Copies of this chain bind each other. A is one copy, B any other.
Amino acid sequence: MLSKSEENYLKAIFHLSVKTEKGISTNAIAQQLDTKASSVTDMVKKLSEKGLVLYVKYHGVTLTDKGEKIAANVIRKHRLWEVLLVQKFNFNWDEVHEVAEQLEHIHSKKLINEMDAFLGFPKHDPHGDPIPDKDGNINFLEKSLLSTIGVNMKAVCIGVKDTSSDFLRYLDKQEIALGKEITVLEKEAFDNSMLIRIGANEFTISQQIATNIYVKNKE
């Protein structure tokens, strides 16, 4: 049974690996986990001895199949807990992260599988991120940033990149939510801000906002 800390390292490496093909650097992991590079070196050695990562000194880390499966399972648990909190316990999507960080380390296969069934086998967490299945497979769906959508095009909001409370509460305030259709009305060349329509509302969003919303093109 892995410790909470070991699980957090595997999860961090997993998330960093999504963007890069190369080995994950010590510093990148340290940054992700808000810890020091020396601590990372220690832990990575341990994970390597346990056969969960491939580690070549000075050349970064990669997850083994075994490590990847464990990481995916931690993420599966995190995201299923988030769904439970939002759907059953009246949590807002900006309130779930901290608690899910704790809950993801609860060890009980029965618990997580029953919860999955109880929730109707959800495919995505409250932020639109895919939930890995029992075997650790993730269904990465294709998604674009809202900022890349052309004028007069329509798109459906399917996720968020930033999951900070500030950002999510901004979206709540503007009534931007998963599943909502967004029409791009104008783009301002100077600052890349956009005029968009959601339902009956029209308003302007900054580039920073537009680069943190994932959408699916609507034909």
Contact = CB atoms under 8 A, between A and B. Distances in A.
Interface stretch (A34-42, A66-74, A103-111, A146-154): A103-111
Nearest to A107: B102
Interface residues of A, number: 18
Q: Is the interface of A mostly helix, strand, loop or mixed?
A: helix
Contacts of A89: 110-111, 114-115, 118
B108 A99 contact: yes
A110 B95 contact: yes
A12 B89 CA distance: 30
Given A89-B110, A91-B110, A99-B106, 8 more contacts: A85-B111, A89-B114, A90-B114, A95-B110, A98-B108, A99-B108, A99-B110, A102-B107
Interface of A: 85, 88-91, 95, 98-99, 102-103, 106-108, 110-111, 114-115, 118
